[in-house]
Amino acid sequence: MNALTPFLPTIAALVKIGLLVGGLMTAAAYLVLVERWMAAWVQDRKGPNRVGIPLTKISLFGLGQPLADGLKIIMKEDFTPRHVDKVLYTAAPLVILAASLAIFAAIPFGSVLPPLGIPGLPDPVPFLVAPGLDVGVLWVFALSSIAVYGVLLGGWASNNKYGFLGGLRSSAQLVAYEIPLGLGLLGVVLAAGSLKLDVIMNAQAQSGIWYAFAQPLGFIVFLVASFAEAARLPFDLPEAEQELVGGYHTEYSGIKLLLFLVAEFLHMVTAAFLIVIMFLGGWHLWGVTGSSQEVTWLGAFLRFGVLSAKIFAVILFFMLVRWSWPRFRFDQLMNLAWKVMLPLGIANLVTVATIEEFRPQLIERFGAGPAGVIALVAPWAVFFLGWIAAGVLTPSGTDNTPIRTHTMLDAERSLREPDLVEV
Amino acid sequence: MTPLPFAPLSSGPLLAGAVLATVASLWLLLPNGRDNASIRWLGSLLGLAALAAFIAAGRRLGGLGEEAVFLIVSLVAVISAAATIVSRSPVYAAIWFALSLAGVAGVLLVLGAQFLGVATIVVYAGAILVMFLFVLMLAQPAGLAPYDRVSNEPFLSALAGAVLLGVLSLSIGRLSAGPATCCQPPSRTAGSPSTASQSTTTPSAAAGEPAPAAGDTASVPAAGMTATAVDPLAENHVARLGGELFGRHLVAVEAAGVLLLVALIGAIAVVSRGEAALAGDTTPTRSAAGRSATR
């Protein structure tokens, strides 16, 4: 025991990494199956339901499908086209997958374990790979901005017009939506007073008010921005199949394509984790999980279960949206980011900052209860005002009426008078 | 507590040799218009020798694991920084630069400057360099421009860089090679008795208020403040950094903010003026194009 003691934190971190990576990879494989089921349900057909236990005739509702899919894509020839930049072509999927896995170093996947009483280990053991990292939210932000490199390099190294256009679109989109994402996140950081995600969860558990209720505008901004960051359907321009074949991974096949697809799924899982942890209370559920730091074994696993269930629900929401919404046009996408989400995010941030600044004075004047009510009502008022303003002003609205160029004469006139053309 | 696992000793000859090897290696490696594989091999070997000499001239401190991690990330930073300036393709140079920034961020994380490390990635690698890549990828779809194949004044620039490197290593080595009492930077120890009391009060107003709301960490910021200079890995790293920035350095932070705002407004003004000029220019050309198309 004495010889092992200095290495115990390292061993604990390795165990957590193993559990997390194994769980995430399995979850990604099965989420593909869930997505296909969801697609089948929305389109009123039967999804994959044939593959079960290999070499038998037993089909467990198609639960063997991920295995078959994985084997198929791994066994495919790892083909590298001759016209690509070989080094960057190989590096791009590795970069994007490594970045999207490393994000989880700072993301808690539960609360804490009850004290184990092992000397050399911090008690209680947190469900977090890097508990000492004091900049958790920024770490997530930094690594999700590294993921842009995978997309950009994949598109460029493919030496293919579709791939390059997909890469450019994607990086423009990711850079644009990082700003509303950050603004939505800042409100929560300001209210919780910490950049650590576990502290943010604890703050919600202690007050019992999830930040989605305390900052509705921030929640909406963050939700939309994380859809865009994960490149899910209303924002899936980087790989719009009808326009760009496959976008930045047009030239990829086999295991490299698999890495890209897994990374994309992990982005969605990361977004779901962040939405749940920052806005939907994390492991907290009223009357079920309690809110203190002392937990029993049952409580620890209950919290883990609540967090997982919430994340699964958010992922189902992501999938449902995929089959219910049409894709944005690129100018609509940019208008939404800069003209709607950015002002709304700033409005949310200013509201939260004002409330946090004057909270002590409010409590002093009205007492704790009414002050809490004011702190809850004011953000909702701002939320509805912002909604109405966005609806009345329609800053992202575009004139979609077709240009009337029926005859050659009309065409010439419209070219001479650019007002008709400029929409 | 060892803030710096490798504190360079002023072991003169080794350091001088390392600097000379760096000059020679960079001079051989910098693009000179001729593609000669053997010269590049020689340059790389010399560069590795220089790195080994620098490591040998350094002083070993700290635990084995910390030392190994520090060595790996700093080697990544240095080697990819060298690759940035010697690579022929601008896109590759940008990628190497990104890798170098990742190495620097790793060094900062190892040394306990978490915020600085992560901010390096967010600001440089995540925002600025992506913009560079954008431009580079759009600007040169095929082939390399002549100014990428030949570097200006390779010898002088290599010499200047290596001399700066040597002087810095010498002076830092002299600072940290003395007895343990002089290890504290003089500014910190001189300023701390008067300012410590100030900085305990101001940040606790900013950072201490949310801490009870979070209710998780038992450490009170006021108690943490006294440990600031000693332990970089102490609790509430960011809260204390924020307290310091918005307490002692408030004017500097605000000045930087105003500067950035001015730059932003200036950029918008330039763009809108350029657009107006462009609109005035393009109207005739567009109608001319339309006429030629109809013809």
Q: Given this model, what pLDDT does residue A418 score?
A: 57
Distance CA A174, CA A229 (A): 6
Structure tokens at A27: 């979850």
**Of residues A383 and B24, which shows the higher confidence score?**
A383
Q: Given this model, what pLDDT does residue A401 score?
A: 67
- Chain B 203-242, CB below 8 Å of chain A: which residues? 207, 209-211, 213-217, 233, 235-239
The radius of gyration of chain B's CA atoms, rounded to the nearest angstrom, is: 25
Where residue A244 falls among pLDDT bands split at 50, 70, 90? confident
The three-class DSSP label of residue B7 is strand
Q: Is the pLDDT of residue B136 over 70?
A: yes
Structure tokens at A134: 């004091």
Q: Which stretches of chain A sit within 8 Å of chain B by CB? A: 10, 88, 132-135, 138-139, 141-143, 145-146, 148-149, 152-153, 156, 164, 168, 171, 175, 178, 191-195, 198-199, 202-203, 206-207, 293, 356, 360, 408, 411-412, 415-416, 418
CA distances (Å), B164 to each of A87, A154, B12, B20, in order? 33, 38, 15, 12
- Which of B118, B233, B236, B281 to mutate to test binding with chain A, by most A CBs within 10 Å of its CB? B118
Burial degree of A338 (CB within 10 A; 0-12, 13-18, 19+): middle
Distance CA B244, CA B202 (A): 9
Distance CA B225, CA B113 (A): 16
Contact B238 A135 (CB under 8 A): yes
Pick the closest to residue A238 from A342, A166, A188, A152 (CA basis). A166
Calculate mean pLDDT across residues A11-31. Answer: 87
* Per-residue pLDDT reduced to its tens digit, A340-366: 889 999 999 999 999 888 888 888 888
Where residue A225 falls among pLDDT bands split at 50, 70, 90? very high
Q: Given this model, what pLDDT does residue A312 score?
A: 92
Pick the closest to residue A111 from A270, A272, A305 (CA basis). A305
Ranges A76-90, B11-25, B136-150, B216-230, most confident:
A76-90
The three-class DSSP label of residue A386 is helix
Q: Give the whole-number percent of chain A exceeding pLDDT 70.
A: 92
Calculate mean pLDDT across residues B260-288. Answer: 73
Contact B130 A199 (CB under 8 A): no
**Of residues B178 and B189, which shows the higher confidence score?**
B178
Calculate mean pLDDT across residues A228-253. Answer: 78
Calculate mean pLDDT across residues B149-171. Answer: 81
Calculate mean pLDDT across residues B242-263. Answer: 92
Q: Is the pLDDT of residue A394 over 80?
A: no
Share the mean pLDDT of chain B.
Answer: 70
Q: Is the pLDDT of residue A291 over 80?
A: no
Q: Tell me the domain boundaries of chain A.
A: 11-75, 78-325
Q: Is the pLDDT of residue A104 over 60?
A: yes
Where residue B62 falls among pLDDT bands split at 50, 70, 90? low
Q: Given this model, what pLDDT does residue B80 score?
A: 92
**Of residues B276 and B231, which shows the higher confidence score?**
B276
Calculate mean pLDDT across residues B103-129. Answer: 87
Q: Given this model, what pLDDT does residue B228 score?
A: 40
CB pairs under 8 A, 24+ apart, for A394-397?
A: A395/A335, A395/A339, A395/A340, A395/A343, A396/A332, A396/A335, A396/A336, A396/A339, A396/A340
Calculate mean pLDDT across residues A87-113. Answer: 87
Where residue B141 falls among pLDDT bands split at 50, 70, 90? low
Distance CA A335, CA A228 (A): 13
**Of residues B257 and B231, which shows the higher confidence score?**
B257
Amino acid at A240: A
Calculate mean pLDDT across residues B88-96. Answer: 85
CA distances (Å), A170 to each of A113, A165, A241, B278, in order? 40, 8, 14, 28
Instruction: Kindly report the nearest CA distance between residue B182 and chain A, in angstroms.
Output: 30
In this complex, is the C-beta atom of B29 within 8 Å of any C-beta atom belonging to chain A? no
* Per-residue pLDDT reduced to its tens digit, A64-91: 888 888 888 888 888 888 888 888 888 8
Structure tokens at B208: 């201490």
In this complex, is the C-beta atom of B122 within 8 Å of any C-beta atom belonging to chain A? yes
Structure tokens at A357: 């600044």
Cβ(A63)–Cβ(A49) below 8 Å: no
Q: Is the pLDDT of residue B250 over 90?
A: yes
Cβ(A234)–Cβ(A321) below 8 Å: yes
Ranges B9-13, B171-175, B261-265, most confident:
B261-265
Tokens 């310091």 label which residue? B244
CB pairs under 8 A, 24+ apart, for A311-316?
A: A311/A269, A311/A272, A311/A273, A311/A276, A314/A272, A314/A275, A314/A276, A314/A280, A315/A31, A315/A34, A315/A268, A315/A269, A315/A272, A316/A34, A316/A38
Instruction: Kindly report the nearest CA distance between residue A381 and chain B, in angstroms.
Output: 24
